Amino acid sequence: MTMPFPAQSRAGAGPAFLRPALALLWLVLTPVLCILYLKIEPSPDQAQFDYMGWLATQGRPFYAGSFDMNWPGAMLLHEAAIRLFGPAGWSWHLLDFLLVQLAAMAAGLFLWRAGFRFAPWIVLVLYPPLYVTAGAWMAGQRDIVAMGLLIMACCAMLAPARRERGALISAGALVAFAVLIRPTYLSVLVGLLILEALPRDWLGQPRRDGILARLLALGMGFALVILAVLAWAVAVGNLDDWYQQSVMFTSQVYYGEPPMDLTQTLITLFTRWWHWLSLGGLVGLVLWVLRDRGVRYPLALLLGLACAILLSFFAQNKGFGYHIAGFVPLLAMLMAVAIDQLAARAVAARNQRLRWLAGGAAIALAGLAALGTVNKIASNSGLLRDYWQNGLAPVAGGYGIPAEDQARMIRIIQAESTPEDTLAQYGTAHHIPYLARRLPPHRFITPAIELMNQEFALYQPWLAEIRDGLRARPPAFVLITGIAPVATEAGLLSAPDNTTPALAELLAFMGDDYAPRVQGDYGALFQRVAR
């Protein structure tokens, strides 16, 4: 019979009073962190998904009603946030914060099932503040959100044998939704199938069913989610649009040379941004291997997630830091293991010197984690102070447009147009039409469309669709940000070069029928003038 890892071991239990103290600290921190996260301005990517989610509630489904090359997982979550909490600037962050708490609980349960008794409480307290303060270009972004679901899936893989079948189906379903958010995480499903196909003696994890039944359960959970989303796509009629944007556009246009150095991104994040977390994670990894005298099933799952993150990072070939943000929860878990195991070694040491050495190291790492976390929260304390003056509204102005100009634009749009009027937005300021609640004249709402060239098969049809949309639903307002049109000799606006065909179509339509209402270095809001 296969012997399980020491899931019932008291090793690493730590002083009894610390666990309820950590639980109390988690209860106190949770509302504070929630308010802090809601006050953080969503990134342009998140604002775009907010807008797309709101458009979906107005009968404009993803792909068919709003253009984007990403898979629909993140869009569905943003739509769910809007349907639950309304089209507010903080809606997505509230739903995401709830998902973070579930991920932290899953990480704690994972470590509990892996045989640790103190680490689960540490990660429950440690991960949420690390997530919330990770920065707007990491927290709430697709990679780290998907990793939370994958941690839940791995936790399900460690369920007791009596709940094995349902747990494996759940794990497959969670992996499927993570893949819908970040397709490159399909490697996790492959890894889980390989692990389950290994001989039981290699797994170190008791199983009730045979290999084939376990593989079928994982595959069934995965297939159920994918088939449900496909059925939804067929029902709303956007399956072909998804293929054109997520497959054709991505493979033929979007994928190219990385804008950032991939190796430098890795070095910078691990040695500068996450330096103390990386140190603690490395110590935790070594101590975990020493405890198990090798790599057993739970650690194999964690290392598999780390490999999946790196594979996804290099497959995306962009070099963006948030593409490896999934390491934050993994490092938090390993940091928790490091403190747990050092404390356990201090208690078990027979030598006074070793006891002091292990205990001192545990206290030092715990202090490092506490100081690092407190410093991150303190650096964002201004957001908490703003709560007493402005409520939950995010503190705006972090992405080029001053907060005063944003508020003024929204007031003008809402006061001087009707919900039936459209707003053409060019650039990444999607939060303006989202908060103003105005529909676009056509579905091409992201400047990523400019990456296509005349060799792309849909170049002319998509430009024709932009022209037709502008003529059929002439916008009451036009918002152009991130690029400066040039004035022609006739006094009209023109695209600065021939690399922005969608902008050229918009400016040609505008002619001299639009006048600026709000403008700055970031761009301008134009209003249609009566002729």
Complete domains list, the chain, with CATH? 15-246+261-388 (no CATH), 403-528 (3.40.50)
Contact 461, 449 (CB under 8 A): no
First to last CA, the chain: 85
Token representation of residue 82: 């809007």
DSSP output for 211-222: HHHHHHHHHHHH
| CA 85 to mean position of chain CA atoms | 19
Percent of the chain with pLDDT strictly greater than 70 = 94
- Confidence band of 199 (pLDDT split at 50, 70, 90): confident
Q: How high is the mean pLDDT of the chain?
A: 90
**Distance between alpha carbon 277 and the CA centroid of its chain, in Å?**
20
Residue ranges of alpha helices (H) inside 158-210 are 164-181, 186-197, 200-203
Q: Per the structure block, which two tokens stand in for 403? A: 């907060």
Instruction: For residue 423, report the phi and psi dihedrals to the nearest 5 degrees.
Output: -130, 120
Confidence of residue 531 (pLDDT cuts 50, 70, 90): low
pLDDT of 2: 42
Question: Whole-angstrom Cα distance, residue 367 to residue 384?
Answer: 24
The three-state secondary structure class of 252 is helix
**What are 206-246's pLDDT values in tens digits?**
788 888 999 999 999 999 999 999 999 999 999 999 999 99
- Worst-scoring range by mean pLDDT, 158-167, 255-264, 521-530? 255-264
- Residue 524 to residue 4: CA distance in whole angstroms: 64
Q: What is the largest CA-CA distance in the chain?
A: 91
Name the phi and psi angles at 487, rounded to 5. -90, 135
What is the rounded CA–CA span in Å between residue 334 and residue 354? 22
Q: Note if the pTM is more than 0.85.
A: yes
Cα–Cα nearest to 432, from 58, 57, 84, 42: 42
d(CA 198, CA 464): 54
Cβ–Cβ under 8 Å, residues 34 and 392? no
Cα distances from 515 to residues 204, 470, 525, in angstroms, run 70, 17, 8
Reported as half-sphere exposure (CB side, CA atoms, 13 A), residue 65 has a value of 20
Residue 433 has a pLDDT of 97
> Which structure tokens are listed for 282?
């490395």
Would you say 365 and 270 are in contact if contact means Cβ atoms under 8 Å apart? no
In this structure, the number of other CB atoms found within 10 A of the CB of residue 204 comes to 18
Q: What is the pLDDT of residues 96-142, one digit of tens each?
A: 999 999 999 999 999 999 999 999 999 999 999 999 999 888 999 99
Q: How far apart are CA 10 and CA 346, in angstroms?
A: 14
Closest to 134 in 3D by CA, of 399, 331, 337: 331
Residue 343 burial class via C-beta count within 10 angstroms: exposed 0-12, middle 13-18, buried 19 and up:
buried
DSSP string for residues in 442-462? SS--SGGGGG--TTSTTHHHH
For residue 181, the one-letter residue type is I
42 touches 93 (CB < 8 A):
yes
- pLDDT band of 492, cuts 50, 70, 90: low
pLDDT single digits (tens) 394-447: 998 888 899 999 999 999 999 999 999 999 999 999 999 999 999 999 999 999
Distance CA(205)–CA(5), nearest Å, equals 7
| Tokens 């949770």 found at | 30
CA dist., res. 424 & res. 439, Å (int): 8
What span, in angstroms and rounded, lies between the C-alpha atoms of 312 and 324?
Answer: 8
> Does the CA dihedral 239-240-242-246 come out positive or negative?
positive
62 DSSP assignment: B
List the structure tokens of 75: 């869009």
